[in-house]
Amino acid sequence: MDFFKYHGTGNDFILIDNRDGSVLLSEEIISELCHRRFGIGADGLILLNPSKEFDFDMRYFNADGKEGTMCGNGGRCITAFARHLGLISKECTFNSIDGIHQAIILKEAKDTTYISLQMQNVSQHKLIDENIFMDTGSPHYVIFSDNVSQLDVINKGRSLRYNNKFDPDGTNVNFVEIRDNGIFVRTYERGVEDETLSCGTGVTASALAYGIEKGINKGSVEIKTRGGRLKVKFERKGNNFTNIWLEGPAQRVFKGKIKEGKSEVKS
């Protein structure tokens, strides 16, 4: 079975073309494939499934093997993958666990594709201990802080991820520093149970929280992560955010083959 490795600003994924519906992977196998010492290594695995109504269906699994909620960086990567497979031209519409998404290819350069991905509207948020909690396809807790680059994101994030205030499913945790040219974001991701170099739904939540903080009704927020730069555009009226777009790169890294529980890099 062929697979492709992609990443979106350092958030990396195993992508598999499952248009024929033949790929059935257990939770255990997915976690083994995503393991960074004994497998291919990835933050998650994505199946490109067939769809009768849309260009394709996206099914996302976290590195622990469990099916996850929406992944913004993964949404860009599967769009680039669909382009590589010849399924789409410059635009596509696909279905994911949180609903329908539109994606637009902005430009292509070698193995990197720059994509704008429409995210779901956000109609509510709440304050928990004076910090913003919202769902941008996945649940996110956003904490504004100084010197984010020096924070112990793993331990601080883990303690909040399992906090009973976020029962029953827990939350992703974002630490956000406001800078002159935008925001710097670091994210602890549930399911990966670690800091990732970038989180698409996390930077989206962080940008919207920044919009609330600064009273922005329509704008574009430049975001720096440890894995690269992203941009989030949105419109806001009261607590309602619409026309939310996540822009950034998706890069194909290599192709490989999975044989009897092990992987081989092919090219």
Q: Span 42-63, mean pLDDT? A: 98
Among 15, 165, 175, CA closest to 84: 15
Residue 72 in this model has a pLDDT that exceeds 90? yes
Identical topology for domains 2-111+251-265 and 125-249:
yes
Token output for 47: 């199946």
**Could you state, in order of their start, the residue ranges of all structural domains in the chain?**
2-111+251-265, 125-249
For residue 79, the model assigns a pLDDT of 99
Q: Count the residues in the chain.
A: 267
Q: Which CATH architecture has domain 2-111+251-265?
A: Roll (3.10)
φ, ψ at 86 (rounded to 5°) = 80, 15
Structure token digits, residue 21: 């519906």
CATH superfamily of 125-249: Diaminopimelate Epimerase; Chain A, domain 1 (3.10.310.10)
Cβ-contact 103, 48 below 8 angstroms: no
User: What average pLDDT does range 213-235 have in this prediction?
Assistant: 97
Q: What is the mean pLDDT of the chain?
A: 96
Neighbours of 234 (CB within 10 A): 24
Strand partners, 254: 5
| The one-letter amino acid at 170 | G
Specify the amino acid at residue 22.
S
Whether the pLDDT of residue 120 is over 80: the answer is: yes
> Could you tell me the sign of the dihedral formed by the alpha carbons of 83, 246, 227, 196, in that order?
negative
**pLDDT band at residue 12 under the 50/70/90 scheme:** very high
Give the residue numbers marked as catalytic. Answer: 71, 199
pTM: 0.95
Q: What are phi and psi of 21, to 5 degrees?
A: 70, 15
Nearest-angstrom CA–CA distance, 109 and 32:
32
pLDDT score for 259: 84
Nearest to 23 by CA among 54, 53, 2: 2
Residue 154 parent element (H or E): helix 153-161
pLDDT at 262: 55
